[in-house]
Amino acid sequence: MGIRTNNFGFRIYNFGFTCGTSCFINPKSQIRNPEYYKLCSPYIIYKLASKNQIRVSFEGSDVNGSLWVGEGGKIHVIDQRVLPFREEEFILNTLEDACFSIREMVVRGAPLIGVTAAFGMYLASGNNSNNIMETLEEAAAYLNSSRPTAVNLFTATRRMLETAAYCHDPAEIENTLFLEASRIREEEIVSCRNIGEHGLPLIEAIWERKKPSPVQILTHCNAGWLATVKYGTATAPIYLAHQKGIPIHIWVDETRPRNQGARLTAYELGLAGIPHSVIPDNTGGHLMQHGLVDLVIVGSDRTTRNGDVANKIGTYLKALAAFDNQVPFYVALPSSSIDFNMEDGLRNIPVEERSPEEVVHTEGWDGLGITRIRVLPENSLARNYGFDVTPARLVTGLITEKGICPATEGGISGLFEDLKI
Ligand code: MRU
C-alpha cells in the first residue's frame, strides 16, 4: 500500500485521459503502447507555495480526476479522508488496497466506488492462481462486502466477472480487465458530462426568471468530481452554469457526521471559484420557507427502477422540505447508480450503518494537523445510519446522462430501454 504525502509542496493531478478507451493498454502487458503515457497520462504538476495559493487549471468546467492510472500502471486516487486540509495521493497496489480504500472512505461516492472496485478486480487478476475465475469470484465477494448501499459497486464487480469469463487465459484476463476498468472510468466521465448538459437548462430557466439575482441551489453531501471521476453528478450542471456566466450561489449542507459537504463539496466549489456557503444540515427548511432556495440537486447511491432514491442521510428531510415549499428537487445520477432489479427502495435498499465513533467524535484542522475531538458526553450511545431513502413521489425529476425523466418506472424505462430487465 503506498501513500504519498505532498506536504503542500507539489500537487500532481491528471487532467488527461480524454482519449477513447481503445488506447488504454495494460502497461504491464507485452503489448505496451509506447505512446500510452503521452496519450493517457499527461500529468500537470502544480507547485504550491502555501495552502492559500492553490492554483488549479480549469478548462471550462473540467476538473481534476479523482482516480487515474499513473506511471507503471499504478492506480492512483486522491485520499479523501484528509481533504481539504491535506492533499495526498493513495496508490492502489492490491485488491486489499482497493477494498480498504472503499471501506475506509479513502474513496467514496457511488460512481467512484464502482470505478475503484473495477480496478480492484483488475488488481486481483494479477494474482497467480490455479483457478483464476475462482480467485475473481472471491475478489468480487470481498469488494462487495466493503460498503452495501451504492449499487455501482455490485454492478462493476459483476461486469468485471462477466468480462473475465469471455477470456481464455490469465494473461488475457489481466489485460482485458484493465481495459474494462478503464472503460468504466471513461463511461462515468462521459455520463457526468452529459448530466451537466441535461441539467444546465434547469438553471438557465431559473436565471431567465429571476435575473439579476443569482440562482440559489442547495446540495447535500458530496456529489462532485471527488465522488465520481470528473465533473460530478449534482455539480456538473453547476459547473456549466458557472462557466456560462450565470450567477449562482450554492448552499452546501455540511453533512454530519463525516462532513462531506463542508470538507469536500466546499473544497471543490472553492477551487472552481463558485460562490457557496456551508450551512448546518438543518438549515435547508428555513431557507426554503424564506424563498432562498430555487433548486435542490443531490446525487444518489442507488435509485430503484420506480424512482426511489437512496442518498446520504438527511436527503429525505431536504426532499420533504422542498415538497412543502414547492422547491424543485432533482436527483442527478448516471445509469450506473440505477438498480434495475429493485422496486421498493424503502424496503429493499440496504442502508449502511457505520461506526458510532463517527458521531461520537468530529475531525478538523487545529492549525498544526488534523485532530479528532469528542463531541458527546462519555456515556452517550450513538447511531450512524449512512443513507436514507427518498420516495419517488418527492422527486421532481432525475437528471441522467440520457436526459431528464420523471422518477417513475415509465420515466426510467423510457430513457433506458436497453437496460430494462
Ligand atoms: O458515504 P458517501 O460519502 O460515499 O456518500 C456519498 C453520497 O451520498 C453521494 O451523494 C452519492 O454517492 C452520489 S455521488 C455522485
Residue 29 — very low, low, confident or very high, per pLDDT cuts 50/70/90? very low
- Over range 82-86, report the average pLDDT: 95
Atom of ligand 1 nearest to the CA of 227: 14
Q: Confirm whether 396 is domain-assigned.
A: yes
Task: Give yes or no for residue 386 CB within 6 A of ligand 1.
Answer: yes
Q: Which amino acid is at 240?
A: L
More confident residue, 20 or 362: 362
256 φ/ψ angles, rounded to the nearest 5 degrees: -65, 150
Residue 268 — very low, low, confident or very high, per pLDDT cuts 50/70/90? very high
Transcribe 60-80 into DSSP letters: TT----SEEE-GGG-EEEE-T
| Ligand 1 centroid to residue 210 C-alpha, Å | 31
pLDDT of 198: 98
Rounded Cα gap, residues 243 and 335, in angstroms: 25
Q: Confirm whether 397 is domain-assigned.
A: yes
What cell numbers appear for 171 in the block? 494473461
Closest CA to 197 of 399, 20, 417, 338: 399
Rounded Cα gap, residues 362 and 36, in angstroms: 43
Q: Write out the catalytic residue numbers.
A: 301
pLDDT tens, position by position, 92-125: 999 999 999 999 999 999 999 999 999 999 999 9
pLDDT of 42: 24
pLDDT tens, position by position, 36-82: 222 222 222 222 223 332 333 333 333 458 999 988 889 999 999 99
- The sign of the dihedral angle between the CA atoms of 56, 58, 61, 65 is negative
Q: Confirm whether 339 is domain-assigned.
A: yes
| Ligand 1 centroid to residue 387 C-alpha, Å | 9
Task: Give yes or no for residue 312 CB within 6 A of ligand 1.
Answer: yes
Q: Which amino acid is at 98?
A: A
More confident residue, 195 or 62: 195
Rounded Cα gap, residues 315 and 219, in angstroms: 9
| Ligand 1 centroid to residue 253 C-alpha, Å | 13
Q: Secondary structure of 162-217 in the HEC alphabet?
A: HHHHCCCCHHHHHHHHHHHHHHHHHHHHHHHHHHHHHHHHHHHHHHHHHCCCCEEE
Cα separation values, 156 from 223, 348, 353, 380, Å: 19, 20, 22, 39
| Ligand 1 centroid to residue 113 C-alpha, Å | 9
Q: Which amino acid is at 90?
A: F
Q: Confirm whether 100 is domain-assigned.
A: no
- In the predicted model, is pLDDT for residue 311 greater than 60? yes
- The domain tally of the chain equals 1
Asked if residue 257 has a cis previous peptide bond (ω within 30° of 0), the answer is: yes
Closest CA to 328 of 158, 223, 209: 209
Domain that holds residue 387: 195-415
Atom of ligand 1 nearest to the CA of 221: 10
What cell numbers appear for 147 in the block? 460498503
- The sign of the dihedral angle between the CA atoms of 164, 415, 314, 205 is positive
pLDDT of 52: 31
Q: Determine which residue's CA is closest to atom 15 belonging to ligand 1.
A: 223
Tell me the β-bridge partners of 60: none
Rounded to the nearest integer, the mean pLDDT of the chain is: 86
Instruction: Please say whether the beta carbons of 188 and 114 come within 8 A.
Output: yes
Task: Give yes or no for residue 233 CB within 6 A of ligand 1.
Answer: yes
pLDDT of 420: 58
Q: Confirm whether 350 is domain-assigned.
A: yes
Q: Determine which residue's CA is closest to atom 10 belonging to ligand 1.
A: 299
For the question of whether the overall pTM of this predicted structure is more than 0.75, the answer is yes
Asked if residue 377 has a cis previous peptide bond (ω within 30° of 0), the answer is: no
pLDDT of 64: 53
**Of the residues 101, 231, 300, 331, which should be mutated to test ligand 1's pocket, given the most ligand atoms within 8 Å of the CB?**
300
Task: Give yes or no for residue 261 CB within 6 A of ligand 1.
Answer: no
Q: Confirm whether 360 is domain-assigned.
A: yes
Closest CA to 16 of 162, 178, 148, 189: 189
CATH number of residue 261's parent domain: 3.40.50.10470
pLDDT tens, position by position, 141-156: 999 999 999 999 999 9
End-to-end CA distance of the chain: 39
Task: Give yes or no for residue 185 CB within 6 A of ligand 1.
Answer: no
Q: Which amino acid is at 40?
A: C
